Amino acid sequence: MANSNLTNAKRAKNDEFYTQYGDIQKEIGAYLEYNGDVFRGKVVYCNCDDPFESNFFRYFALNFNKIGLKQLITTSYKPSPVANTQLSLFGDDKTLTRNHLCASGAKGRPKVTANKFIINEARDIDGDGEFNLKDIAKQLKANKNNEWTPLENDGDFRSDECIKLLKQSDIVITNPPFSLFREYVKQLFDYNKKFVIIGSMNAITYKEIFPLIKNNKMWLGNGFRAGNAYFFTPNAREYASGVLDDKTGLVKFRNCHWFTNLDHGRRHQSLQLMTMKNNLKYSKHKEIQGKKAYDKYDNYNAIEVPFTDSIPSDYDGVMGVPISFLDKYCPEQFEIVKFRHGNDDKDLRLKDGKCPYFRVLIKHKKK
């Protein structure tokens, strides 16, 4: 049991990566560009975000009126490891708990807890002509139309009190623990929620996740700039060269993406492709250019297409493409057939016996 708890604690600690404000702004902007009313009158719940440090809280609090939110709910899991690094206007966790204890008449030493913020109103409360986080802080401290209280338990998204808040929400937006991604997504679908969340691209390969993508119940979001996600982490770890920037404390990941069931314009942009003949003649990829034909699989009737931009526009059969294709997937242009396995339920295998890394089998939709 001790080893199990230690493993879980290490896993939880290594899951602490904090999203940059600019990345949130860019992603949410894509949904607003497609549908300016997508958040209007809605309750947004950020259920893996300490309000003291979360840029998700910061973004939605500052844009509360602009995007027409009805309510913003933010909850954290356990005490913040970097409290006051971003939202120091609110004081610290201990101040919150001490005030709460005094107000309730409780005795004893204050205990640091997970927190809950509920924003129902965002306005220029200090009369300086500008709405900002100072106004939010004043409203929270005065408890005017907004709520700031400790959670009864640790703030785990699976807890009864967090599920109760989930039921009240319309759209969940956060960066959940990667190690719990399967369970987190299942909960969202169990409660029929709209969502915009961050996850590893490897999640596409999970047996619980791929069917959702195949059936157009979930898809990739607009994406990070140039495919690079930068997160702040409070945990000192060993990273490969070029991953951690010691000056900024930001960690770079190329295998992260936004997952969502909210529509955005990029999802409906068709790929501009060359014919098979032109690919074989002009492709920029040496694996394609100059070949007489595309390779075929030995255990499935499909051709191997190792690059998304090498998909032939005039091929009517099934094609195996990299999972990175899903970042360009347009449901009006392509149909997803299946994932990874051939007719023998083994990994797709070329005639020479080689098995390309996980492939998504697709075909053009008939016009």
Per cent of the chain over pLDDT 90 is 59
* pLDDT band (50, 70, 90) for residue 345: very high
Would you call 249 exposed, middle or buried from its count of C-beta atoms within 10 A (0-12, 13-18, 19+)? middle
Which residues are within 8 A (CB) of 228 and not within 5 positions of it... i.e. 6 or more apart?
Answer: 252, 253, 254
> Both tokens of residue 313?
């526009």
CA neighbor of 269 nearest in space, from 334, 216, 324, 329: 329
Q: Tell me: the pLDDT tens digits for 206-216?
A: 999 999 999 99
pLDDT band at residue 198 under the 50/70/90 scheme: very high
Helices 55-62, 133-142: crossing angle, 10 deg rounding: 90
Tokens of 266: 């990029």
CA-CA distance, 5 to 296, in Å (whole number)?
A: 48
Radius of gyration of the chain (CA): 24
Band of pLDDT at residue 110, cut at 50, 70 and 90 = very low
**Measured distance CA(257)–CA(317) in Å, rounded:** 29
Q: Name the average pLDDT for the chain.
A: 83
pLDDT at 366: 85
Q: pLDDT tens across 132-184, in order?
A: 667 777 777 766 778 888 888 888 999 999 999 999 999 999 999 889 999 99
Q: What is the pLDDT of residue 23?
A: 94
Tokens at 366, concatenated:
């008939």
Q: For residue 87, which of 50, 128, 33 has the smallest C-alpha distance?
A: 50
Q: At 140, which amino acid appears?
A: L
pLDDT of amino acid 5? 30
Confidence at residue 54, expressed as pLDDT on a 0 to 100 scale: 84
